[in-house]
Structure formats: C-alpha cells, structure tokens
Chain A
C-alpha cells in the first residue's frame, strides 16, 4: 500500500501518512511498519506512535537524520518482511459481565436500538474488534468494528467517574475504560481485567493492531477472574493469529 506522505517535522520527528481514512487495511499497514521500524533497531529512535492511518517517529538528531530514516522507511515499505512477527498479530479474549450494576446503561442501549438486552449482548460479543491505536488514556483502545445495530449516542451529561474496566459504547465505537476517569460513553458491562497497570512488565493489556473478542461470564466466573487478577495469577488469554486474509 502506498503512503501519501513521508515528511520530516523539524529535526527530530518524521510523520508517515497513509490515506487519511479509518480502515482496517490501512491500519494493518501502519502497525506493520511500526513493528518493522521497532525491530530494525535504527539508530537514535526515541518513540514510535502508530495511529489510525499515520505513524509518528521521534529520533535523536545527534544519532540519525531524516534523510537516512526516510530512506530506510521507503525500503521497508518496498520490501516487506515475510517474518512471522510482522504478519501475525494478537487475539485477546476479554471476559465481560454484561448488565446489572456492572453495566448500568445496557437497558438504555437496548431501548434506544429497539432490541432486548440479550440481543445487545449477543451482537456485542459476536464480533472481532480491532485495536487501531492506544490513546486518550494509558492503555485505552480505540477500536473499530462495532455493529451499527447497537451504536448508541453518548450520554448528554458525561459521568464524572467511570470505573476502570467498564465496557462501553459511544456512538459507533466501543471501548474499555483503562483507568477510572470521567466519560460519556454508555456502560454495558465490566471486565475484571486490568487494561493498565503501571507496575507490570507489560503496563498495558492491549497494543495497537490487536484483535479483541469479548465473551460473557456470570458473576461467579467474574469474581474468580477478579481474584486471580488481584493475586497476580491471572494469565491473559492471548493467541497469535495471521493477519493475512
């Protein structure tokens, strides 16, 4: 896939832009390129931030320069690696307790969309979602793939405090609050998993490019997982899958 623009921003950043639309195909390219740059260990790279359809690279101008890095990037795009790491991405399964006090807006989401609560749950969990990027808050996934039948406008009055782990719908997006923060999305359930833990070796559960599947648990299973998370014995359900369709 062609990039639209590879531009130096001052002497310490490079911006790589693909067509500026939200699409899975384009985001796949972004994430692939990000991984390639990361694994190639180019001199002086400080940070790589993949977003929906662009990539921002920060580097130390004493250790590298934009001409050399841009040359490398063009080469990476021309000759993609067939290496496993690059073409595979992660499928993360996230347990969710839907409704009741854990998902106080489930009834409204059902009512607004003229569905039963059961139907909303079934539509929400029968879908693979792609994490396009992390942002807004540490570990917060911007996800695509929500079924339009359960898209629901945001609350008129945002809540001042949404608990971390809340699974929510905001417009045509769904997400999981990674930290307790204010928020205006409709809460349909809750996961006992920690999406952000600053003390963990992997501080975020998710990464850009991950696929996510939500699955429903009852309150006993929820409590069991919650205990395991608290004791540090929980192992996230992650498998590597091929991204080539």
Chain B
C-alpha cells in the first residue's frame, strides 16, 4: 500500500469522515468532520464518494511527504498551500508525485482545512467509521497525527481536474460577523419571548474553551426558570443553555444525551460554519422557520449537484504538466481526443 509521511504533524490533525451517528443510542458520540461541506467538496475534487475519510487540520496544518502519486484537494479555511515550495491553489484538484512535499503550515483564514486523497485514507473502521474521537481512543489510528507518522492512502481512479472558483457560494468566505440561522430547539417553550428575542439581538463571541464537542459563546446570558428537565437526545448544532445562562452550540463530538434545555438548533445548511469558527470570532443568530430551512437546504443541494455535474463533465486527463511562474505552480492537462 502507498503511504504519506508527516514531516510535521500540524497543531491538531485528525482523520475524519461522516462519523458514527447511528451508534448514539449506545452512548457513543456521533463524531465526524466539523465542516462536512468542506469534506464533501474535497472528496468531490478527487473523485471520491462524498464521505470518504479526509484529514482535518486545525489552525496550522502538517507538512506531508508523498511516497506515491495521488490526486489531492485542499478545502475549508484558506491556507497558503505549497507543493515543493511552490504555491498551489485551494479548492482545486492537484496531482502530486512520489517525493513531493506538501506544506499546509500557514493558514490565511478559517479554523479548519481539509485534505482529501484519491481513494481515501486506508485505515480500518472502528465502530463503523474512521473518524478520530480525541477524548477516548477507540482504535489504533484514533489520535492526533504525530511527527513521522505514516498513513496509507488509496489509488488514483480517474484523473479529472477541476476547480471550485472563488465566486462559488459553497466556498469558505471569512465574514466579519458570521450570520447563523436557527430554528426552534427541543425546549424552545421553556424560554420567554424576551429570551427568544435576546439571543438574536447582539452578536456572540466564540470562547477559547470551544472544541469539537461544543462551541461556548460569550455574550448575553439567556435565562430560563430553573426548570429541571429529564435528559434527552442532543441534535447536532443545537444550542443548549447552561445553568449560568451561557449558550453552547453542540458539535460533532457532543455527548448523545444531556439535561440542559436546548432553545434553538442551527439549520442544517449552516452547520458547516461550526468547523470554521475560531476563538474570538463573532456570530449573529437569526430566527427562521422550518420551511425556510428546507428552502435554503434545497438551494444548497442544487449548487452541490451543479458542481458534481460539472466535475463529471470534465474529460479524463491522460497527461499533466507542471508549470512554474512566480513561485506558483500551475497544471495543464491533456485529454484523449
């Protein structure tokens, strides 16, 4: 099997995929990529199924040496990506060759960068998934990537080359204040009108105590009569209110059940933002209803379908040439006539 080697591991690099949501009834956290949209797009660009395992790099990425050729794509937050010292584009299919060194150390914006490899990352499934769960080691590869570690990757199936352009609405964009749309959560009725209006009034700041389990918010406290509730299931992206009144957005590694009231839930199409929010970033909530959430979701799926179709329309390349201009690497491809 072909390998990649980590010359430096990055700050916090893990293997992630869609996770293990179906095991939540056993008390096992759902896990999985924080920015599932970035994961899907990276996989799309290298011809994988959309939930093939990828690398999730946090705040500063790794330096990787390839022992084989592969197609890769870098998505999520923007990063100064370099291949053998030459800058390469994000959101683009890149062919790497044996001996190449990819450097993702310097992020430009965003919190997490994703790398997909054609054929995926070939580590065994544990509990039905390759997703790393940091608090507990489920399997052999279930920890953050370390220096000199190697990982087996898959093989190139079809050499299609594609780019998701900067104007595409699915590409990550850094906003001064990220708008996040919410719908009623399971315990919405526990909260007075005043509190319901308060949560959307001013922006909240992301606390540095946030992690893959939850994003803690600093801002207006939300009050509820100290109603004791019986523990129930916690939807991904639900906003629970702790006893002190601080909201916490429940993310990928959350416990499956809990006893704090959940006032709201982030709409499905906005969940991927959770992966890109860094400490001190600002977010502002906006109430929408379920019909609006559905509409937004269908628009977003339409965009994704459009991309997939355009990708499939690309001819399969027979040859790829590299060109170097001003410290930047470009690829030209030849297709069969």
Contact = CB atoms under 8 A, between A and B. Distances in A.
A185 B126 CA distance: 30
Contacts, number: 120
B25 interface: yes
Contact of A204 (B26, B126, B293): B26
Interface string A56-70: 101001100010000
A206 B146 CA distance: 35
A139 B136 CA distance: 13
A55 B21 CA distance: 15
Contacts of A199: 126, 139
Contacts of A61: 268, 294, 297
A219 interface: no
A11 B268 contact: yes
Interface in B185-208: 185-186
A139 B26 contact: yes
Interface string B239-280: 000000000000000011110000001011000000000000
Interface string A194-225: 00001100011001100000000000000000
Contacts of B290: 8, 10-11, 66
Interface in A16-58: 17, 20-22, 34, 46-56, 58
A193 interface: no
B24 interface: yes
Interface string B13-28: 0000000011111111
B136 A179 contact: yes
A9 B27 contact: no
Nearest to B22: A47
A50 B25 contact: yes
A198 B139 contact: yes
A138 interface: yes
Interface residues of B, number: 40
A209 to B, nearest CB: 10
B54 interface: no
B186 A135 contact: no
Contact of B27 (A17, A20, A178): A178
Contact of A49 (B24, B184, B268, B301): B24
A204 B26 CA distance: 7
A137 interface: yes
Contact of A62 (B126, B231, B236, B301): B301
A9 B184 contact: yes
A133 interface: yes
B27 A136 contact: yes
Nearest to B231: A51
B297 A134 contact: no
List the 9 closest A-B pairs by CB distance, nearest first: A56-B233, A49-B233, A135-B257, A134-B27, A198-B138, A47-B21, A204-B26, A138-B28, A54-B232
Interface of B: 21-30, 126-127, 136, 138-139, 183-186, 229-236, 238, 255-258, 265, 267-268, 290, 293-294, 297, 301
Given A11-B268, A15-B232, A178-B27, 14 more contacts: A10-B267, A12-B268, A15-B186, A47-B30, A49-B233, A50-B25, A51-B233, A52-B231, A62-B301, A135-B256, A135-B258, A198-B127, A198-B138, A204-B28
12 contacts: A11-B268, A49-B233, A51-B230, A51-B257, A54-B230, A133-B257, A134-B26, A135-B27, A138-B26, A138-B28, A138-B136, A203-B23
